[in-house]
Chains A and B, each alone.
Chain A
C-alpha cells in the first residue's frame, strides 16, 4: 500500500481515483497507460508525495475543460512526455543497483582486510 499511502492515505487515493474517473474517456485511457508505465519504471518521485500523479490529473483536467484532445496536451509520443517528467528522478532500480554495489564493495573490503 506504499504508493497509495504516500498519496496521503487511502482517502486521498480514493479522491484521486475519483478525479481520474471524472475525466473524459480518452484522457482516462492515456492517464491509465501512463500510470502503468510509471509503475514499471518505478521513479522515486512516485512515492515522494502526490506531485507526480496528481499533477498529471491537474494538467488533464485543465486540458479537458478547454476541450482539447488529450494527445494535443501530451504530444503524440506519450512515453517521451513521461520520460521528461521523471528525467531528474532516480528509479527504484537505480537505488537497488546502488545498494547492491555498496554491498559488493563492503564484502570486498572485508575480504581485503582479512588478507592483509
Chain B
C-alpha cells in the first residue's frame, strides 16, 4: 500500500487532489522530488494522513517558490531527501537540520545581496 492508496477514500482526498493539481505545475525534477518526499513521509503518517497535511502544504509552498525562482531542486532539498523529511516531521536530526536551514538562509541572503 502506498501513501496515495492509504489516504484514498478518506476525507483527505480533496486536499491531496488540490496538491496534485499544484504539483502538475512544477518542473519535472521537482515533481520527482515531490514523489520522493511523499514516499519518505508516508511511514510517518497516521491512518488518515491528516497530521501530515500541513507539513506537505509547507513543502509544496517551498517547492513552488523555489521553482519559480528557477533554482535546481537539489539546491533546495540537498541530496538527502530522507534526512530532509525526518527533519520536517521533527524526528531525530531535526535540530541539526534547522541549523542547516538557518545557515542556508543567511548564506543565500549574503550571496544574493552580493555582500
Q: How many CB-defined contacts (below 8 Å) exist between A and B?
A: 97
For A44, the chain B residues whose CB sits under 8 A away are 54
In the bound complex, how far is the Cα of B103 from the Cα of A77, in angstroms? 9
Cβ contact within 8 Å between A3 and B46: no
Q: Which of B53, B65, B87, B89 has the most CB of A within 10 A?
A: B89
> Using Cβ atoms and an 8 Å threshold, which residues of chain A touch B52?
96
B105 partner, pick from A82, A94, A95, A97, beta carbons under 8 A: A82
Report the minimal beta-carbon distance from B10 to chain A, rounded to whole angstroms.
15
Is B18 an interface position by the 8 A CB rule?
yes
Measured between C-beta atoms, what is the minimum distance from A45 to chain B in Å?
12
A residues in contact with B82, CB < 8 Å: none
Query: What B residues does A82 contact at CB under 8 A?
Result: 105
Mark A75-86 against chain B: 1 for CB-CB distance below 8 A, else 0.
011110011000
Q: Judge whether A3 and B51 touch: CB under 8 Å.
A: no
Q: Which of B18, B103, B109 has the most CB of A within 10 A?
A: B109
Q: CA of A91 to CA of B64 in the docked complex: distance in angstroms? A: 20
Is there an interface contact between A99 and B51, defined as CB atoms closer than 8 Å?
Answer: yes
A-B interface, 3 closest residue pairs, ranked by CB to CB distance from nearest:
A93-B90, A79-B102, A39-B62
Q: Give residues in B with beta carbon < 8 Å to A.
A: 15, 18, 22, 44, 46, 51-55, 57-59, 61-62, 65-66, 69, 76, 87-90, 94, 98, 101-106, 108-109, 112-113, 115
